[in-house]
Structure 1
Amino acid sequence: MARRCSVTGVKPIHGTRVHRRGLAKKRGGIGMHVTAVTHREFFPNLRCRRVWVPQLGRFVRVRRMTANALKTMAKNGAFRTLQLAGIL
């Protein structure tokens, strides 16, 4: 399954995690030193939902929809949001 939202188009983004050791200078140490930088991914909060569309009078099953898209759908309406996304 693709990790991409079918409504908003959000996909995973890449970032790094920085590992440090030592005590900060302002806390009385000699400073923080970076010991390693590892790569990581931030995944979208995907959900599978059945959404009631009043204009059609039926449920529409939407796979791979983010929680943020659910909020957008509640704000703008299910029919309009799904139509703009090209699902209907």
Structure 2
Amino acid sequence: MSNVCDICGKKKFSGSTIIRRGLAKKKGGIGMHVVKVSPRTFEPNIQSIRVVDENGAVSRKKVCVQCIRSGRIQKPC
């Protein structure tokens, strides 16, 4: 089951989770130190909703919430 938006093509991308230890300098410590960097993925907020096509037909598509909010799709009444 793909996790890609059918309208804009948004999909998951990779990043990092950074673990830090120590007390911040502004709190009186010697600063925060990075002790571990773990890979992770950022998933888009994909919703399966009913959409009206250009022809007027209603179909079910996977759409990201950004496309829903911006009005790029038309919901059936």
| CA-based RMSD | 2.0
- Consecutive unaligned residues in structure 2, runs of 5 or more: none
User: How far, CA to CA, are the matches of 1:48 and 1:34 in structure 2?
Assistant: 39
- Consecutive unaligned residues in structure 1, runs of 5 or more: 79-88
**2:76 equivalent to 1:71:** no
Count of aligned pairs: 74
Tell me if the contact between 2:52 and 2:73 (Cα under 8 Å) persists in the aligned partners: no
Q: Deviations over 1:51-88 (max 9, x none)?
A: 245862x42221x211112123x3x563xxxxxxxxxx
How far off its partner does 1:21 sit?
Answer: 0.6
- Superposition pairs for residues 8-87 of structure 1, below 5 Å? 8-52=8-52, 56=56, 58-62=57-61, 64-72=62-70, 74=71, 76=72, 78=74
Equivalent residue letter for 1:66 = C
SS in 1 for 2:26: helix
How far off its partner does 1:32 sit?
Answer: 1.0
Q: Please identify which structure carries the higher helix content.
A: 1
Name the TM-score, length of structure 2 as normaliser.
0.79
User: How far, CA to CA, are the matches of 1:48 and 1:8 in structure 2?
Assistant: 14
